[in-house]
Amino acid sequence: MTRFLAPLLFGLIGAGILVGLGIWQMQRLTWKEGVLARIEARIGDAPEPLPVMVSPDAQRYQPVALAGEILPGEIRVLVSRKQIGAGYRIVSPFRTDEGRLVLLDRGFTADANKDAARRTGPAEVQGNLHWPDDRNSATPENDTKANIWFARDIGPMAETLGTEPLLVIARRITPGDPDITPLPVDTSGIPNDHLQYAITWFSLAVVWLIMTAYYIRRQMKTGDT
Per residue in 17-74, pLDDT tens? 999 999 999 999 999 989 888 888 889 889 999 998 889 988 999 999 999 999 999 9
The Cα 58–Cα 54 span in angstroms is 9
Judged against a pLDDT cut of 70, whether residue 103 lies above it is answered with yes
Whether residues 166 and 196 share a domain: the answer is no
Inside any domain, residue 180: no
Enter the pTM of the model. 0.80
Tally the domains of the chain: 2
Judged against a pLDDT cut of 70, whether residue 206 lies above it is answered with yes
Inside any domain, residue 143: yes
Phi, psi of 160 (to 5 degrees): -65, -40
Whether residues 68 and 6 share a domain: the answer is no
Judged against a pLDDT cut of 70, whether residue 224 lies above it is answered with no
The Cα 173–Cα 119 span in angstroms is 11
Inside any domain, residue 136: yes
pLDDT at site 1: 58
Instruction: Work out the mean pLDDT of the chain and round it to a whole number.
Output: 91
Range of the domain at 197: 2-39+191-222
Phi, psi of 223 (to 5 degrees): 75, 10
